[in-house]
């Protein structure tokens, strides 16, 4: 995830919004997965299909990144034109993105770039929790059958479901700190479990904060470095911000490891409990 954050920063941070460089197209970047030289003898169909799989995978990843780049560029430009309403628009858009399974890491970094550390963290945190609550309610009361089909045949989810029955908010909290499956999927999954809405919201509020802070910090620090490089900010202040980012990352990594161990213990207890089924 840190590598993804660094890559996204390279796309989103350079220059102010008004002079932002156009987002890369879906096929930007080196042609790593391009077609082989035409002088090579044509492969048999089976070999051609195998050779095209890595290229297709790389092309899909490039298209995803291009989509996120264009989306975040549009969001930043729109937000900049709204003045004091910008954070409200950004937060509501973030909530909608959570419901629609849009990857949140890019938007979270963009929040730091756009609003800075304090306001960016507040904006993203509120938007993410609103979106998480909406997805939970949609799964529980609107699209339950469809969500059940999407999440079927996943043993890890069944184990977590059983753990929620006995430990409730603690399991939600631990999976927020150390996600064993994507954040957006978690929101819908917990709507199918026995977790109450209050347990879910309370555990999410606490468990989502460290990760939110870290990714917003990455965006804010990246923007500060860009400004310092252009002479618009002092390197002393920038160094303090980067040092704070490093300390925050270290704490989040430590907390995540502890949460992962505790989650593994909790799931093991459920598996070993009498009457547990696969």
pLDDT digits (tens, 9 = 90+) for 136-188: 999 999 888 877 776 677 766 777 777 887 777 888 888 888 877 778 888 99
Is 106 within 8 Å of 67 (Cβ atoms)?
A: no
* Residue among 62, 76, 57, 61 at smallest CA distance from 17: 76
The pLDDT confidence band at residue 230, using thresholds 50, 70 and 90, is low
DSSP 25: P
Neighbours of 123 (CB within 10 A): 26
Q: Confirm whether pTM is higher than 0.75.
A: no
Q: Is the pLDDT of residue 65 over 90?
A: no
């Amino acid at each position: 995830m840190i590598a993804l954050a660094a890559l996204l920063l390279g796309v989103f941070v350079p220059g102010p919004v008004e002079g932002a460089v156009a987002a890369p197209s879906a096929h930007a970047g080196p042609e790593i997965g391009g077609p082989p030289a035409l002088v090579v003898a044509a492969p048999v169909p089976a070999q051609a299909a195998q050779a095209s799989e890595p290229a297709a995978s790389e092309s899909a990843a490039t298209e995803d990144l291009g989509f996120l780049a264009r989306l975040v560029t549009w969001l930043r430009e729109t937000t900049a034109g709204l003045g004091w309403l910008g954070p409200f628009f950004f937060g509501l858009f973030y909530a909608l993105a959570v419901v629609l399974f849009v990857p949140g890491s890019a938007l979270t970094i963009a929040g730091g770039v756009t609003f800075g550390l304090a306001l960016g963290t507040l904006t993203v945190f509120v938007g993410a929790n609103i979106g998480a609550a909406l997805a939970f309610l949609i799964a529980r009361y609107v699209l339950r059958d469809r969500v059940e089909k999407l999440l079927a045949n996943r043993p890890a989810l069944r184990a977590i479901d059983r753990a929620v029955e006995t430990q409730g908010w603690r399991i939600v909290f631990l999976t927020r700190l150390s996600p064993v499956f994507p954040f957006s999927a978690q929101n819908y999954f917990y709507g199918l479990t026995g977790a109450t809405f209050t347990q879910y919201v309370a555990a999410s509020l606490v468990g989502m904060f460290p990760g939110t802070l870290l990714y917003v910090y990455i965006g804010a620090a990246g923007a500060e470095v860009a400004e310092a490089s252009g002479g618009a900010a002092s390197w002393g202040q920038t160094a303090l911000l980067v040092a704070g980012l490093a300390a925050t990352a270290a704490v989040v990594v430590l907390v995540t490891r502890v949460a992962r161990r505790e989650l593994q213990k909790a799931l093991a207890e459920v598996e070993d409990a009498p009457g547990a089924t696969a």
